[in-house]
């Protein structure tokens, strides 16, 4: 049971990292010269936080890979798509169309089927 909690925790922190990275790049001008761009990226608190959490998520993912078959574990990663869509809608006012909603539903059904083992 604890491993399932870890799977969902990994999905959540992976999504959190993506949301922080998205928040951070809003403040970045990608037309800057490369050295200024790198300085802007490494000095942005959201990007640094997102990278830190992403690395932690990767370490947890490696542990989970040692505990589960890849064919079972990997589909759970698609839950990040669901959470990212909801996070984009909630935090960035992104649009979730009926087509995206249908895709989210299909992902949830697919993960539920995989989870049944």
pLDDT of residue 116: 79
pTM for the structure as a whole = 0.89
Q: Indicate the number of domains in the chain.
A: 1
The answer to whether 43 and 55 have CB atoms below 8 angstroms apart is no
Q: What is the pLDDT of residues 70-101, one digit of tens each?
A: 988 999 999 999 999 999 999 999 999 999 99
* Structural domain containing residue 107: 2-115
**Residue-averaged pLDDT of the chain:** 94
Flag whether pLDDT at 3 surpasses 70.
yes
Flag whether pLDDT at 66 surpasses 70.
yes
Q: Give the span between the Cα atoms of 112 and 53, in whole angstroms.
A: 26
């Amino acid at each position: 049971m604890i491993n399932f909690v870890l799977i969902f925790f990994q999905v959540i922190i992976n999504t959190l990292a993506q949301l922080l990275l998205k928040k951070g790049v809003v403040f970045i001008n990608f037309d800057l010269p490369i050295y200024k761009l790198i300085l802007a990226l490494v000095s942005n608190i959201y990007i640094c936080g997102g990278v830190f959490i992403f690395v932690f998520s990767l370490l947890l993912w490696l542990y989970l890979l040692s505990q589960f078959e890849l064919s079972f574990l990997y589909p759970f990663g698609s839950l990040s798509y669901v959470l990212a869509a909801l996070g984009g809608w909630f935090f960035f006012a992104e649009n979730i169309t009926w087509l995206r909603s249908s895709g989210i539903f299909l992902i949830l059904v697919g993960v539920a089927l995989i989870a049944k083992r």
